[in-house]
A and B are shown apart, each in its own frame.
Chain A
Amino acid sequence: MNEQEIIEKIAFNVIQGRVTEEDEGYDEGLEGQPAVAELVQMVIEQRIDAKKVVVNALTGSMETVGDKFDKGEYLIPDMLASAECVGAAMDLLGPHLADAGVQSKGKFVLATVAGDLHDIGKNIVGIMLKGAGFDVLDLGNDVSSERIVAQVKDTGARYLGLSALLTTTMREMGAIIKTLDEEGMRSQVQVLIGGAPTSQSFADEIGADAYCRDAFHAIDILKQMAG
C-alpha cells in the first residue's frame, strides 16, 4: 500500500469505527481487514508524515462522522466506535507528532464537576479534542472545584471544559468560574461548558465563554476561538 492508500484506508476505517482488524464495522463484512491500529502501524514503519494522517485521515473523517450523527444516520455507539479509532490512532502517533512538527493546539483541562458521576459525553469530548490536536488533561468525574482550579493554575491551560448532567450539579460551574475570577486567572483560560441541562443562556448567566451542544460543536467553537 502506498501513502495515499494507507491514509484513505485510515479515514475509511475511522468512519467505519474499526480499531483492530477483528472489529466489525458500521457496514457488514469488514472483519479481518486491516483497521486503524494496523494501518497507523504501517504509517510509523513507512515513516509517513504523521501530520498528514491527522489532517487528512482523522480530522476530516470525524467531521463526516459528526455529520452522520447530526443527520441521525449514526447512533451513539457508532460515534463512540469512531472516537475510539481516533483515540487509538493518536496514542500510537503520539511520539511521532512532535517530530512531524505537529504542534499542540493548547492544553485543555476537562472535568465533570463535583457531585456528578456522568462521564460518557465528557469522555467523547476528550477523545475528539485529542483527535483535533489538543493536549487533553482529563481529570475524570466528581472533581472538586479546588482541584479543577489548581490544575488550570499548574498547567497554565488555555482551555477548561466543564461537564454536568444534573440540574443540581450544574451550579458548580458558576462557582468554578467565580473562583477563577477571584484568583485572577479568568483571563488566562477560556471556559467551555456542556451537558444535558446546560444551555447558551445558562452559559451567559454564569459567565462561561461558550456553551457546547455536543463534541462536534465543541470542536467548531474551538476553531472559532483560535480564529
Chain B
Amino acid sequence: MIVIAEKINATRSAVREIIEQRDEGRLEDLAQRQVAAGAAYIDVNVGTGNGTRQDEIESMQWAVSRLLDATDKPLCIDSADAAVLEAGLAAMGGRPAMINSTKADVKYLSTVMPLAQRYEAPVVALAMDGQGIPGTVEGRLNACRAIAGACRDYQVPLASVFFDPLVLPVATDAGQGKVTLNTLAAIKAEFPEARTVMGLSNISFGLPGRPMLNAAFLQMAIYAGLDAAIMDPLNADMMQAARTGDALMGKDRHFRKYSRALRRQ
C-alpha cells in the first residue's frame, strides 16, 4: 500500500494554526512523524478557508520549502486551485511531487494536466465531473474515461495517474460502499497501467464503530484493486489493516512488512 499521509491539511484546526502562524517546528514534526510511521508521500493542503488565493499560494510556498528540509519523501501538493498547485510544484525545486487533484471537468483538466506533463508528476484523478459525483459505477467510469482522454491530449502517461473511485458515506446510502469497490475493479480492468487511490474515512461518516468500518472497507478495497490510500499513518490500527490486506493478497512476499510491524510493537 502506498500511503499518502493526510495530516497536513488546513481544514484541521491544528494545522490551520500552524499555517497561519508559520510554525515550522510543528509542521516539520508532523511530517517527520508521518514518515516514521510509513508514509510514502506527505500530502500538503494549506487551504485555510480564510484569505485570498495569493495567501494560499504563499502558504503553499512556505510549507513546501519547510518540508523539503524536514523529509526526503515526495510531497503530494493538494489544492483545488491550479495556481496553488503550480506554486507548490515550482517550490519543489525539481524534487518529485504528486498532484492532488484533477477531475473530469475541462476547467481542471486544461489547467492541471499541463502541470502533470511539465513536472512529470503523478496525479490524483477523481472519478467525477463538473456535475458532481456520479451515483453509479458506469457514471464514475465515464469520468475516468474522459480523464484518460485528456491524458492522451496532454501526453501524460496513464501510469502516472492515480484514479480515485470516490467514497461516499454508507450511512445515507448503504449501496455506496459497493459502488466504490466495483468502480475500483472496473478501473483496474479498463486501465491496467493506471493506479488507484482513495481517502477512506468518509465511508463511515455518521456511524458508530468507525475504526472497524474503515479497516474492513480498506481491506475490501485492497481486494478490489486499491494501490494507494490517503490516510493517517499515525493510526496504527489502520496501518496494520493495510498491511494485513496486502499480505493476504500476496503483495507482501514472506510477510516481511506485516511481521516487521508486529515486531516493532
Residues of A within 8 A of B (CB): 17, 23-28, 75, 77-78, 80-81
Could you say which of B253, B255, B257 contacts A75, with CB atoms under 8 Å apart?
B255
Q: Is the CB of B259 within 8 A of A77?
A: yes
Does any Cβ of A come within 8 Å of B152's Cβ? no
Q: Is the CB of A77 within 8 A of B255?
A: yes
Within 8 A of A (CB), among B235-265: 253-257, 259-260
Per the bound structure, the CA–CA distance linking A25 and B256 in Å amounts to: 7
Q: How large is the interface on B (under 10, 10 to 19, 20 to 34, 35 or more residues)?
A: under 10
Q: Is the CB of A81 within 8 A of B254?
A: yes
Per the bound structure, the CA–CA distance linking A27 and B259 in Å amounts to: 10
Besides A26-B260, A80-B254, 6 more A-B contacts (Cβ < 8 Å) are A17-B254, A24-B257, A26-B256, A27-B260, A77-B254, A77-B255
Q: Is the CB of B259 within 8 A of A23?
A: no
How many contacts between A and B, using CB within 8 angstroms?
21
Q: Is the CB of B254 within 8 A of A28?
A: no
Closest A-B pairs by Cβ, 10 of them: A77-B254, A24-B256, A81-B254, A77-B255, A75-B259, A28-B260, A17-B254, A80-B254, A78-B254, A24-B253
Per the bound structure, the CA–CA distance linking A81 and B254 in Å amounts to: 7
Per the bound structure, the CA–CA distance linking A77 and B254 in Å amounts to: 5
14 A–B contacts, CB within 8 A, in A order: A17-B254, A23-B253, A24-B256, A24-B257, A25-B256, A26-B256, A26-B260, A28-B260, A75-B255, A75-B259, A77-B254, A77-B255, A78-B254, A81-B254
How many whole Å from A74's CB to the nearest CB in chain B? Answer: 9
How many whole Å from B252's CB to the nearest CB in chain A? Answer: 9
Q: Which residues of B contact A81 (CB under 8 A)?
A: 254
How many whole Å from A23's CB to the nearest CB in chain B? Answer: 7
Closest to B247 in A: A77
How many whole Å from B198's CB to the nearest CB in chain A? Answer: 26
Interface centre among B255, B256, B257 (most CB of A within 10 A): B256
Per the bound structure, the CA–CA distance linking A28 and B257 in Å amounts to: 9
Q: Is the CB of A78 within 8 A of B253?
A: no
How many whole Å from A80's CB to the nearest CB in chain B? Answer: 7
Q: Which residues of A contact B254 (CB under 8 A)?
A: 17, 24, 77-78, 80-81
Per the bound structure, the CA–CA distance linking A46 and B5 in Å amounts to: 47
How many whole Å from B239's CB to the nearest CB in chain A? Answer: 15
Closest to A17 in B: B254
Within 8 A of A (CB), among B26-46: none
Per the bound structure, the CA–CA distance linking A27 and B253 in Å amounts to: 14
How many whole Å from A187's CB to the nearest CB in chain B? Answer: 42
Q: Which residues of B contact A80 (CB under 8 A)?
A: 254
Per the bound structure, the CA–CA distance linking A222 and B257 in Å amounts to: 35
Q: Which residues of B contact A78 (CB under 8 A)?
A: 254, 259
Q: Which residues of A contact B257 (CB under 8 A)?
A: 24
Closest to B264 in A: A28
Closest to B252 in A: A24
